[in-house]
Structure 1
Amino acid sequence: MNSPPTPTFNLLHEPWIPVRPVNGDPVREVSLRELLVDARSYSRIDDPSPLVTVALLRLTLALLHRALRGPNNLEQAAEWFRNGFPAETLETYFQTWDDHFDLFHPERPFWQQKSAKKEPEQYHWSLLSPELNGSNTTPVFGTKKRAEAVAGKSAVETTVRTWLGSTSPAQVARLLIQNQSFALGGRVTGASDSQQGGPVMSKALFVATGPNLHETLCLNLLPYPADMAEVDRAVWEWQAEGQDRTVGAGVPLGYADRYTWLSRSILATPEPTTPDALHTLGYGAGVARVEDTDQGQSLEPMAALVSRMVENKPTLMPLKFNLEKLVWRDLQAILPEPQNQIYVDAKGKVIRVPGFAPLTIQNAARLLEIVNDTAHGESIVQVHAFGQILGDKAGKTSAFRHESYALPLPLLQDWERGGRHIDAAFKEAKLVGNALMNATLRLAAEVVSRGGEREPHKDDVRNLAQTLPGLGAYWAALEAPFRGFLAGLDVPDEAAAAWRESVTREARAAWAMNVQGVGGDGQVLGFAFRPRRTDGKYQPSPQGILDRALASLNAAQRTNSTAPEVPS
């Protein structure tokens, strides 16, 4: 009796990467080779999951670095931008490493690692997807937890398998790459200790994009010096060399190593009789990594560094997404002179700690400056931000985020032509936002104390203030005016004036919501407008706190000066 053929799914030749063609045709799947050879034919990689989209882009950048051993410098990157990648060099690399891209190779399955156990634990394929099963705790859509509720923990794998069934090799490949990049930290079955998350588990990743995928790749393909190219390895390369990286924590060797880090030992196992339908996979601990912050800098090219207080010391940390605010409020972090975080020490000394813009955004600005010297290039750069927002417990994903911003190119190249105006705009919005928050706290104190009849408890004041919607509405309403402000920076004075009008309007609207939220009747209006003296000291009314900030904002507009600095 003949045995069934060995399953195979070669990522260089099989369609599996979703792309959107530039001609407007529907999204379709292409092979990794086709993606690179015909990159100008596609506008972008376009998976429903933002994590998959950016993880596939990172894989593609790693492959280009290793296949082309470059770009050596920005000039070579500009040549590739105009004329395309060296086709023969790519084809030679594809032929050399062809079988290493087989998802089901019996000895070298792509970006996977066999377990040392004779009978490794098997899990349903949905374990790779944080939308479905997450890590060891609550996933976004709760399949695993719902299965436990229905069938109990002992039968959860069988129940999930019944609900979700099998999936295709193409889907497993996409989820595998996503998981290696964004794996959640925590306990992994078979490991003695909790495991690190993936290299970009909780970082906000910034990518510059062009009108087609080829230009996007060039914009984010950093100069690859010869000394890095010599030691760097993508995962398929160092595994082929037989390296053992399981002992101790390692520092990524270069960009390709970082982009293809083996965060988990995963092994996809197709059914012998139905190789196109995959049910289970092995899942275990991967290669430990020295964290970026332990080195005092971020080696992650797509991340921005911002200053945060860690153990009472200003420390540069990768910017993360936040459920409470969109990334536009931290957009200074990607500008040529990233935002200064301002601290005041115990002696009153002001300390400024500058951040560090993502290398990908710095690279895109410099490359476009070269390209635009010889051609009419884009004056607007699309910057996309991708990331995962963690929950309050290890192993939990709260949300994914994908945001995009159209930024004038000079904004990314010249602080004086754009960055300083954005810095001033954020300070103005923050000044008014702080005043709105303080006014809301004062109003809550007046309401809880009944106009000063009794001493309010601070917890009661805080709890009431947190129920009022104004502050959140204020920041949410400013997103659209901010995009308009960015678009109008070619005439900065007019853009700044329109921005201040928006800040004033939205602050007034937010304050009205808060007043209405605590009753809005005559008594509440009295609390809102009545100043008081406490221990002989004059205290402005809650309304007066906001009015003073808006008066300062309008004075800045009349004098065409920047807003005062607001300590963090």
Structure 2
Amino acid sequence: MNSPPTFNLLHEPWIPVRPLNGGPVREVGLRELLLHAHTFGRIDDPSPLVTVALLRLTLALLHRALRGPTTTEQAAEWYAHGFPTKTLEAYFQTWEDHFDLFHPQKPFWQQKSDKKEPEQYHWSLLSPELNGSNTTPVFGTKKRAEAVAGKSAAETTVRAWLGSTSPAQVARLLIQNQSFSLGGRITGASDSQQGGPVMSKALFVATGRNLHETLCLNLLPYPADMAEVDRAVWEWQAQGEDRTAGASVPLGYADRYTWLSRSILATPEPTDALHTLGYGAGIARVEDTHQGRSLEPMAALVSRMVENKAALTPLKFSLEKLVWRDLQAILPEPQNQVYVNAQGKVIRVPGFAPLTIRNAAQVLDLVNEAAQGESIVQVHAYGQILGDKAGKTSAFRHESYALPLPLLQDWERGGQHVDTAFREAKLVGSALLNATLRLAAEVVSRGGEREPHKDDVRNLAQTLPGLGAYWAALEAPFRVFLAGLNAPEEAATAWRASVTREARAAWDMNVQGAGGDGQVLGFAFRPRRTDGKYQPSPQGILDRTLASLSAAQRTNSTAPEVPS
């Protein structure tokens, strides 16, 4: 008689890691990952969503196994001297059976459907790149199948192309899907489902010189009252809890990191390969209020106007810009927005930096207390970008930045300089946009011969590449600026020079894009009067702002906003 299939995630190799000794990426189980974390550089999956989802699982496991760290000081102690190995081993032994991907009663992070005949889907449903539910796959597998075989046969064609997969791959995609699953209704299901807990959030993680340091930097203080009620998914499932009755708030960090967003059930074939799996509704989650235990530890909160009210909402990635342009969101005084309400009262709404980044700064401060020197903190940002329609994935994103430790600790030593740099770049970017719109209006109206239609002006301006090129070109100088903040005045001087240079280069691109001939040059440089009021030339709009930037540099102040 054949023994039932088993794949224990504590012992079987399935998590891709990059060894510090320079060896190739290899796969390890959770036990080896934690007991030998100091020998690995990082978790390293090709998908950024899988990478950060695996990190969240590992943090949840550490919180539950160690019931800590109770304080930042304890995290710093673990950072320097390692985790208590005996405590980890005891926890592994206690919960070993519940880490089996194919356990007959309680398969890891899965749940059987309550339907008599639950729908079966191809395993690629778990992957947005391949065949994700309610999404145009990022890498187009399903679209290519539709092109080859037609929509009616697309699913069959995808199954034929992708075939079966391994338990290790299913385990990685299972964990990714539970965290990042899209909201909406999948084919064959009757109800629309809530998205995963971090479906569209930008997640920020501090990393150290090895995986062990990375884990310690992101292990938040885990107070006794939270540890008492918190449960990871394998713990509450083992106790037979039923959480399907209604929506609930996460009990703590481990519950949030291992939320059961979908009822997934992977059933292997006799060869241990997997072809199909069950997929259905998971546990409803009370929508985050961004307070207390509803606060996502890895997310940055920024203030936005929502229904004419200032509110804190998680920072999201955008296709149009990289996250460095929102880096203020992770600083000690992040994105302090000012609004004026209907009564004319000024309302100041500060943002909220990610708990993981704030914690990392505190841990490193304790670790480096004896060492006289400034550290560089590597901050990684991971996330999924949704499309213009609900339930669509447009792209994944993974960005990394080397930030001086004082930047994350002290507003006066770092944050205020970054804030000034952003305001200067945005000021010049706004002037570049206004100059481009004015140039487009001149071109469309033939120098004022006729009244231009606003749609024609906007459409022409959008075809000109300068503004996008301006922001793209500033990414590298911004990284140099960050690295030079130990000498802020010199860094600011170099930054303003870069802003000026890239703005002029972008303007030249727009002039050439609008035609670049003598007539267009005349439009670009010629001021004129409209209704008796002087209007600067398009070139003059940009020149005035750059002049104010230069004046600010000479007086060591911030460039004022210049009206267009």
Give the TM-score taking structure 1 as reference length: 0.96
1:287 to 279, 283, 301: 283
Letter in 2 for 1:173: A
Residue of structure 1 in register with 2:168 after alignment: 170
Task: Determine if contact 1:134/1:396 at 8 Å carries over to the other structure.
Answer: no
Residue of structure 2 in register with 1:561 after alignment: 557
Alignment of 1:336-375 (within 5 A): 336-346=332-342, 349-375=345-371
Q: Partners in 2 of 1:138 and 1:157 — Cα distance? A: 13
Q: Partners in 2 of 1:55 and 1:185 — Cα distance? A: 18
**Residues 520, 146 of structure 1: alpha-carbon distance in 2 compared, 3 angstrom cutoff:** same
**Residues 345, 528 of structure 1: alpha-carbon distance in 2 compared, 3 angstrom cutoff:** farther
Q: Partners in 2 of 1:133 and 1:566 — Cα distance? A: 50
Q: Partners in 2 of 1:519 and 1:509 — Cα distance? A: 16
Q: Partners in 1 of 2:290 and 2:490 — Cα distance? A: 44
Residue of structure 2 in register with 1:59 after alignment: 57
Residue of structure 2 in register with 1:463 after alignment: 459
Residue of structure 2 in register with 1:216 after alignment: 214
CA deviation map 1:168-187 (0-9, x unaligned): 11011000000000001111
Task: Determine if contact 2:203/2:382 at 8 Å carries over to the other structure.
Answer: yes
CA deviation map 1:204-233 (0-9, x unaligned): 000000000000000000000000001100
Name which of structure 1's ranges 86-95 and 180-189 shifts more when overlaid on structure 2: 180-189
Residue of structure 2 in register with 1:381 after alignment: 377
Residue 295 of structure 1 deviates from its aligned partner by: 5.6
Name which of structure 1's ranges 400-409 and 294-303 shifts more when overlaid on structure 2: 294-303
1:525 to 515, 521, 528: 521
Q: Partners in 2 of 1:442 and 1:11 — Cα distance? A: 61
Alignment of 1:24-103 (within 5 A): 24-103=22-101
Task: Determine if contact 1:234/1:256 at 8 Å carries over to the other structure.
Answer: yes
Q: Partners in 2 of 1:550 and 1:343 — Cα distance? A: 27
**Residues 521, 151 of structure 1: alpha-carbon distance in 2 compared, 3 angstrom cutoff:** closer
Residue 374 of structure 1 deviates from its aligned partner by: 3.1
Residue of structure 1 in register with 2:309 after alignment: 313
Letter in 2 for 1:499: W
Name which of structure 1's ranges 335-344 and 427-436 shifts more when overlaid on structure 2: 335-344
Letter in 1 for 2:285: R
**Residues 84, 378 of structure 1: alpha-carbon distance in 2 compared, 3 angstrom cutoff:** farther
Q: Partners in 1 of 2:431 and 2:279 — Cα distance? A: 51
**Residues 293, 149 of structure 1: alpha-carbon distance in 2 compared, 3 angstrom cutoff:** farther
Residue 243 of structure 1 deviates from its aligned partner by: 1.1
Residue of structure 1 in register with 2:18 after alignment: 20
Aligned-partner SS, 2:368? helix
CA deviation map 1:24-69 (0-9, x unaligned): 1111111100000000000100001000000000000000000000
**Residues 461, 164 of structure 1: alpha-carbon distance in 2 compared, 3 angstrom cutoff:** same
Aligned-partner SS, 1:186? coil
Residue of structure 1 in register with 2:443 after alignment: 447
Aligned-partner SS, 1:80? helix
Residue of structure 2 in register with 1:274 after alignment: 271
Residue 241 of structure 1 deviates from its aligned partner by: 1.2
| Aligned: 1:394 with 2:390 | yes
Q: Partners in 1 of 2:303 and 2:293 — Cα distance? A: 11
Residue of structure 2 in register with 1:161 after alignment: 159
Task: Determine if contact 1:188/1:285 at 8 Å carries over to the other structure.
Answer: no
Q: Partners in 1 of 2:442 and 2:293 — Cα distance? A: 47
Residue of structure 1 in register with 2:406 after alignment: 410
Aligned-partner SS, 1:317? strand
Aligned-partner SS, 2:369? helix
Residue of structure 2 in register with 1:179 after alignment: 177
| Aligned: 1:478 with 2:474 | yes
Q: How large is the Cα RMSD of the aligned pairs? A: 1.6
Letter in 1 for 2:80: R
Percentage of pairs with the same residue: 87
| Aligned: 1:494 with 2:490 | yes
Letter in 1 for 2:400: S
Task: Determine if contact 1:104/1:268 at 8 Å carries over to the other structure.
Answer: yes
Residue 350 of structure 1 deviates from its aligned partner by: 3.9
Residue of structure 1 in register with 2:431 after alignment: 435
Give the TM-score taking structure 2 as reference length: 0.97
Aligned-partner SS, 1:175? helix
Name which of structure 1's ranges 294-303 and 203-212 shifts more when overlaid on structure 2: 294-303
Task: Determine if contact 1:132/1:144 at 8 Å carries over to the other structure.
Answer: yes
Task: Determine if contact 2:437/2:461 at 8 Å carries over to the other structure.
Answer: yes
Residue of structure 2 in register with 1:246 after alignment: 244
Task: Determine if contact 1:440/1:542 at 8 Å carries over to the other structure.
Answer: yes
Q: Partners in 2 of 1:140 and 1:416 — Cα distance? A: 42
Task: Determine if contact 2:179/2:196 at 8 Å carries over to the other structure.
Answer: yes
Residue of structure 2 in register with 1:10 after alignment: 8
Q: Partners in 2 of 1:377 and 1:92 — Cα distance? A: 38
Letter in 2 for 1:405: Y
**Residues 506, 309 of structure 1: alpha-carbon distance in 2 compared, 3 angstrom cutoff:** same
Residue 376 of structure 1 deviates from its aligned partner by: 6.1
Residue 313 of structure 1 deviates from its aligned partner by: 1.0
Residue of structure 2 in register with 1:323 after alignment: 319
Residue 163 of structure 1 deviates from its aligned partner by: 0.5
Residue of structure 2 in register with 1:198 after alignment: 196
CA deviation map 1:463-500 (0-9, x unaligned): 11001000000000000000000000000000000000
CA deviation map 1:509-560 (0-9, x unaligned): 0000000001011110111111111111111111111011101111110100
Residue of structure 1 in register with 2:142 after alignment: 144
Letter in 2 for 1:184: L
CA deviation map 1:140-160 (0-9, x unaligned): 122233334444555444322
